[in-house]
Structure 1
Amino acid sequence: MKKLALLSLAILSILNYGSAQKDEVELKPTKVSEHVYMLEGRGGNIGLTIGEDGVAIIDNQFADLSEKIQNAILELGGGKVDYVINTHLHGDHTGGNENFSENGATIIAQQNVRERLSKEQHNELWERTTPARPKAALPVITFEKSINLYFNNNELYIFHAASGHTDGDAAIFFKDENVIHVGDNFVTYGFPFIDKYSGGTLNGMIDFNEQVLKIIDEDTKIIPGHGALSKKEDLKAFNNLLTEIRELLLNEIRAGKTVKEAIEAKPLAKYEEEWGGNFISSDNFILLTWDDLKANN
């Protein structure tokens, strides 16, 4: 009986801790343009448009934040969400899909997002398995290359430029307000996560960003997957570093090294001060990019 009581107390403590974490999250809204906002909280940055046609959001963080996100939208003058656009499949961007769908939202994504969300996913690096998502969490409108949404006096150009962060990446360009959400192909926390288990490649990430750079200008406001609102020069600098890093890794491959030998050689050491100590270490970055670079050298 005593063990049962202790177990119950432990479970209650865990639940209270999770609830406390949720309660501690503050959603920070930033007005980006007349009809577009960025919401920062726990997970990927949310893009938001509010206007006469209704509300559309780009990504939605975690499921336990859906109510907070909806309340933040109400405080900004919006109503219930009409459209959810996913930049890719990861749970810190799509965790609220089911909640918003059940409240009437239509989910839009690149076709590989639906395919992957409907199946169990496994990440070998962290030995983590994610179960298939329920039907309500799946996109109901999908596209291969691009799709346009005309909403709130804006043309939203939603396009899949390349398989970079994953094979289902999409950028969303608000053409009439010169704002673009690029998902996790651009982050400001350090080495980006290239999810090779979901079809991501370093070559693809560089190509994706190059295509984005071609269609934006110096005044374009960029919402990254994680981090502060940015400009074209920030994305360009980020992509230049990725290109430098790719060449360093290709040099290791051309020298005939194994991935273990390359990691031991520390070819990315000079980037550690700016990009190290965060979500992805330089060693893990090499592990995640090596196979594709070697195959396409």
Structure 2
Amino acid sequence: MYRAHFNNIAARIGRAIRIALIASTLAWPTLGAAQDSPVIKINAEAARSDIKITPLRGGVSMLEGSGGNIGVLVAPGEKFMVDAGIAISKDKLTKALASLSPDRVTNVVNTHWHWDHTDGNAWLHDAGAEIVAHPRTAQYVAQVERVDDWSYTFQPLTTSGQPRVLVKDRKQYAVGGEQVDVVAIPPAHTDGDLYVHFKNADVLFVGDTYWNGIYPFIDNEHGGSIDGMIRAADLSLKMAGSRTIVIPGHGPPATRADLEEYRTMLQTIRDNVAKLKKQGKNRDAVIAAKPSSQFDAKWGQFLIDPAFFTRLVYDGL
């Protein structure tokens, strides 16, 4: 599902195998058995992958290799995290976090409920962290949830992994000399999304409301929609200045200009699909019309292919 997850394996086994892996996961909409789910493949890749640390600014770093991008702020006596990754990466993440500082993680903010951002909650909580999330995220991780697009049913997190600090609007933390703003946003990728802005460092983590350089997944089944994704991009643009480092849920660090390009892509495809749908065309006909064609060369070359993204947009309108 996500470009960063496959970088290591691509280097080891070459382009041909990488293409085969991509092809095997492009069929998300028609997947049958749970063992065919991309969740299984991504978990396996997390088990193989090393954790890559990218220093950003002001003591904030980005960690890759365990599901979605993870943020870590190092401050005197503590560390503050954005997202928890996949639990199978516990040992590798523990070592990576220790390499940043010996101090414990005091807070982990879940940007939304998906397992590649929350699965590590329990071990981090058991190590001393408070888990922070939107109320809807807390609801979803506490119960059985099905994502048909991934052909997968998620079981509840254990009690220790369930968020207890809930952010319905916004919450501010003082971590060392850094101000951390946790902001709830209207439904976008899901209906439980949060942003985290390290204000002094000017590093903005926007979760899966933004995927840099690849078409994003939209969880229509859990309150997401293309219109919500566009509104989230608008909010990100209001928060981001010319120097802001924007960290997507998946993909490399970005600039405000990158985010503007992403927003344009979303709006154009949304309008193209809406026009065709208004004409009475069914989903298959809209997909066949290739309403995303002008963007596919850049954005459609990974696991969310043009047809799948068009379907997500169509279903969300």
**By how many angstroms is 1:117 displaced?**
0.7
2:168 matched to which residue of 1?
Answer: 144
Please, which of 100, 103, 107 is the counterpart of residue 124 of structure 2? Answer: 100
**By how many angstroms is 1:20 displaced?**
8.8
Other structure's SS at 1:50 match: strand
1:63 matched to which residue of 2?
Answer: 87
Please, which of 152, 173, 187 is the counterpart of residue 197 of structure 2? Answer: 173
Q: Distance in 1 between matches of 2:43 and 2:114?
A: 22
What residue identity is the alignment partner of 1:119? Q
Alignment coverage as a number of residue pairs? 277
**By how many angstroms is 1:289 displaced?**
2.4
**Match runs of 1:203-214 below 5 Å:** 203-214=227-238
Structure 1 residue ranges without an equivalent (≥5):
1-16
What residue identity is the alignment partner of 2:251? G
Measured against aligned partners, the alpha-carbon deviations of 1:109-145 in whole angstroms (never above 9, x if no partner) come to: 1111001111111122232211122111111100212
1:221–1:127 distance in 2 versus 1, CA, 3 Å: same
**By how many angstroms is 1:222 displaced?**
1.1
**By how many angstroms is 1:250 displaced?**
1.1
Q: More displaced, 215-224 or 258-267? A: 258-267
Structure 2 residue ranges without an equivalent (≥5):
1-40
Measured against aligned partners, the alpha-carbon deviations of 1:261-294 in whole angstroms (never above 9, x if no partner) come to: 211222222322112232212222222222331x
- Say yes or no: does 1:131 pair with 2:155: yes
**Match runs of 1:122-271 below 5 Å:** 122-271=146-295
**By how many angstroms is 1:231 displaced?**
0.9
Contact 2:77/2:103 (CA < 8 Å) preserved in 1? no
**Match runs of 1:5-16 below 5 Å:** none
Alignment TM-score, normalising by the size of structure 2 = 0.83
Q: More displaced, 93-102 or 254-263? A: 254-263
**By how many angstroms is 1:192 displaced?**
0.5
**By how many angstroms is 1:53 displaced?**
4.3
Q: Distance in 2 between matches of 1:155 and 1:264?
A: 48
1:78–1:35 distance in 2 versus 1, CA, 3 Å: farther
Other structure's SS at 1:225 match: coil
- Say yes or no: does 1:112 pair with 2:112: no
Q: Distance in 2 between matches of 1:215 and 1:128?
A: 34
Q: Distance in 2 between matches of 1:18 and 1:292?
A: 25
Q: Distance in 2 between matches of 1:291 and 1:94?
A: 26
1:216–1:41 distance in 2 versus 1, CA, 3 Å: same
Q: More displaced, 109-118 or 265-274? A: 265-274
Contact 1:28/1:41 (CA < 8 Å) preserved in 2? yes
1:18–1:102 distance in 2 versus 1, CA, 3 Å: same
**By how many angstroms is 1:174 displaced?**
0.8
1:37–1:207 distance in 2 versus 1, CA, 3 Å: same
Q: Which protein is bigger by CA-based radius of gyration?
A: 1
Contact 1:190/1:280 (CA < 8 Å) preserved in 2? yes
* Consecutive aligned runs of 4 or more in structure 1 exceeding 3 Å deviation: 17-24
1:286 matched to which residue of 2?
Answer: 310
1:23–1:203 distance in 2 versus 1, CA, 3 Å: closer
Using CA pairs under 8 Å that are at least 6 residues apart, name the structure with larger relative contact order, 1 or 2.
Answer: 2
What residue identity is the alignment partner of 1:94? T
| TM-align CA RMSD | 1.9
Q: Distance in 1 between matches of 2:102 and 2:242?
A: 30
Q: Distance in 2 between matches of 1:228 and 1:22?
A: 17
